Amino acid sequence: MDFNLAEGIAVLERTPHAFRALLDGLSPAWTDATEGPETWSPYVIVGHLIHAERTDWIPRAQIILAQGPQRRFTPYDRFAQFHESQGKTLAQLLDEFARLRSEGLTTLAGWRLTESQLDLQGEHPEFGAVSLRQLLATWVAHDLDHLVQISRVLAKLYSDEVGPWRAYLQGRWGRLGQQPWWRLSWTPRTD
């Protein structure tokens, strides 16, 4: 599917509400759970999304649009949330994410971007030249990837609790070299 600004924005408008609908009010048994050492909990992930709103998407778009002599992005800190989220409840983080997203989308709408502006480029610290179109598509995909991740973290907490249904569900989760579960789910059989 080709990137389309209006359709990309439609997702970006919705994801903060999806995160809130899923997570707000759940007990820490769910929201502080991880997939093991050095993996992230839903709480940590929401902090990561906030930091990206503040320092990544709109600031990088501004660098690209300015087309100044210095178009290299500031490297993104993947661990900022471990100190920035301190002392905040998940409910506060979910509100903050929704507020920052709304502000970012207002800024984006105000630019009234043209197709040729979407082709303008900045310099990624590792990849080199990237276009504004690619940056905005990544903003969308990044949200969705973290929704995949959070849903998976929660689902895996019941890996054992489901008992024999694990045979149907496990392909969807942890094992490396697993059969893709959407094939499993297509297999005509009872469950």
Q: Which of residues 46-85 bind a copy of itself (CB under 8 A)?
A: 75-76, 78-79
Two structure tokens written together for 111: 């630019």
| Nearest residue (CB) to a copy of itself, 3 versus 65 | 3
Q: Judge contact between 145 and 162, C-beta under 8 A.
A: no
| 83-102 footprint of a copy of itself as x/- string (CB under 8 A) | --------------------
Q: Is 118 in the site for a copy of itself (CB under 8 A)?
A: no
When binding is defined by CB under 8 A, the residue of 12, 40, 94, 97 that contacts a copy of itself is: 40
Neighbours of 22 (CB within 10 A): 16
- For residues 109 and 6, give the distance between their C-alpha atoms in angstroms, rounded to a whole number: 10
Neighbours of 172 (CB within 10 A): 17
Q: Is 10 in the site for a copy of itself (CB under 8 A)?
A: yes
Q: Is 41 in the site for a copy of itself (CB under 8 A)?
A: no
Q: Segment 131-160, which members bind a copy of itself (CB under 8 A)?
A: 131, 133-134, 137-138, 140-142, 144-145, 147-149, 151-152, 154-155, 157-159
Tell me how far apart the 2 most distant CA atoms of the chain are, in Å.
Answer: 62
Stretch that binds a copy of itself, among 63-71, 80-88, 99-107, 178-186 (CB under 8 A): 178-186
DSSP structure string for 16-70: HHHHHHHHTT--HHHHT--SSTT---HHHHHHHHHHHHHHTHHHHHHHHHHT-S-
Q: Segment 20-39, which members bind a copy of itself (CB under 8 A)?
A: 20-27, 29-30, 33, 35, 38-39
What is each CA distance from 47 to 18, 19, 89, 166, in whole angstroms?
15, 12, 10, 31
Q: Closest distance between a copy of itself and the C-beta of residue 68, in Å?
A: 20
Tell me how many residues contact a copy of itself (CB under 8 A): 76
**DSSP run (H or E) holding 180:** none
Q: Closest distance between a copy of itself and the C-beta of residue 159, in Å?
A: 8
